[in-house]
Amino acid sequence: MELFLRSISDHLCHIFSTFYGWLVALLLLIFNFFAPAYYPFLIVFILILVDLGWGIAVSLKKGDFAYSEAGRETCIKIAIYGCCLGSVYMIEHMFHPGITVTSVAAAVAGACEVWSFSASMLIIYPKMPFLRIFRAQLRGEMEKKLGRSIHTFLK
């Protein structure tokens, strides 16, 4: 038993003798703290990737090259949503160990992403009945994505 404990302590000393050992330990600590709220974070991350996919489809329909600006915008979105949701989770965790408020914040973030890719879907497939209901409300988002007025597009 003593040999076993000595072996574990030697391995731990070896791991924590490097920068990467400390980095991995810190990342595991952070991931362990946020583990109860992984589902809201995951849903927002997936919706960001769906928005990226529809944005690339709109670029291809316009005849533009799907350039790296979409990738930069996606990384910025992930960072912003991650910071906001992380902050909400940490504040909520101070008061009680639940994820109710974090889930509501993730639902709002997810709704923003759904709004964004709904405009892209309507650009790709303008005859979609469900999305046509919202075409007047999505007009500004669609004009931003296309870079021109869409007055004739909505008729």
Q: Per-residue pLDDT tens for 95-106?
A: 988 899 999 999
109 in a structural domain: yes
52: domain range? 36-146
141 in a structural domain: yes
The model's pTM is 0.79
Higher model confidence: residue 145 or residue 117? Answer: 117
Of 119, 113, 112, nearest to 143 (Cα)? 119
136 in a structural domain: yes
152 in a structural domain: no
Burial class (CB in 10 A: 0-12, 13-18, 19+), 109: buried
Amino acid at 102: T
Structure tokens that stand for 55 in this block: 């944005």
Determine the pLDDT at residue 68. 64
CA 15 to mean position of chain CA atoms: 32
58 in a structural domain: yes
Number of domains in the chain: 1
79 in a structural domain: yes
What are the contacts of 150-153 at 24+ separation with CB within 8 A? Answer: 153/126
